[in-house]
Amino acid sequence: MIELQGVRLDHPRNGEPLLRSLDLSVGAGQVVVVHAGAGAGATRLMAVLAGEALADEGQVSVLGRDLARLRRSAQRVLRRSLGVVPQDLCLLLDRSALLNVTMPLEIDGVPRQAALVRAAELLGALGVAAEADEPMAHQPHSVRQRVAVARALVRRPQVLLCDQPTSLQDEAGAELVCAAIAGAAAAGASCLVLARDPMLLTQAVRRGWAVRVLQGGVLQDEGTVPVPGPVEHDLDVSLDLLVSMVSAPTPQISEPEPDSDGVPNVVPFPNAAARSGRAALSDRPAPIAEAG
């Protein structure tokens, strides 16, 4: 299980503490979702729980072990009981999905055939069986993220730590990821999930997971996260929004989305330029008709 008592995490640039006096408990078979905005310190907390950083104050215990008191050798042993889905995924892009998922089992000395069977089961459950033999460099980011979830689960961990595990998914993908997390909890794992994705928060409410809100360095014991409902579209508002989008002074190019094919999105050409083009055409002299 996971236990945090009076944990403080200082800001790396000497600002206000990211977290202060944080208490949190995640028991075996429980899923706790922490709803935190960008820069709130949740990713830093995940690093502390994974043993990659130390809290500036307070006690952090995982599976009954105080992480601040563990030697490096003991930390390595403990990490074999953890499954981690980092925000940056940390996959080997020149390896296939199957090899990425089997790697933790190979480190543990599990026979190759058994490791391949277990990895294939997880990839199938997460809807990426067809991509199992393809190098990760050729896969969209949504597939990569689900492969990272499979890798975190392949050891059947006692503790599962997930940092924004559905941020690159559509609704169907988010459903598969949350089902996999629920399966780990049903097997007895303590699951802590960091989330900003409305689809994941909706899944959490539907599945009865505990949701906590991290805001201003304080973790609220019982945060209330509204479940998004159907969106009503107002035609006038939509038209106003469209006009404001295309009336920018100059075209702007944005960075490619993670799942795109690398072609940047271009803001439509401004109305002002279009009007000036039409005006230039109207100023031209009319063609002289040939005599019949």
pLDDT tens across 163-179, in order? Answer: 999 999 999 999 999 99
Residue 128: partners with Cβ closer than 8 Å, 6 or more residues away: 97, 143, 146, 147, 150
Q: What is the pLDDT of residue 136?
A: 95
Q: What is the mean pLDDT of residues 118-139?
A: 96
Q: What is the pLDDT of residue 244?
A: 39
Banded pLDDT at 287 (limits 50, 70, 90) = low
Closest CA to 169 of 161, 177, 158, 159: 177
Q: What is the pLDDT of residue 278?
A: 47
Place of tokens 């075209």: 251
Q: What is the mean pLDDT of residues 10-32?
A: 90
CA angle 192, 68, 209 (to 5 degrees): 10
The amino acid at residue 177 is V
Q: What is the pLDDT of residue 144?
A: 97
The dihedral built from the CA positions of residue 272, 274, 277 and 278, taken in this order, carries a sign that is negative
**In the chain, what percentage of residues exceed pLDDT 90?**
64
Strand, helix or coil at 96?
A: strand
Q: What is the pLDDT of residue 130?
A: 95
| Lowest-confidence segment of 10-24, 100-114, 182-196 by average pLDDT | 10-24
Closest CA to 148 of 160, 202, 8, 64: 160
Average pLDDT, the chain: 82
pTM, 2 dp: 0.75
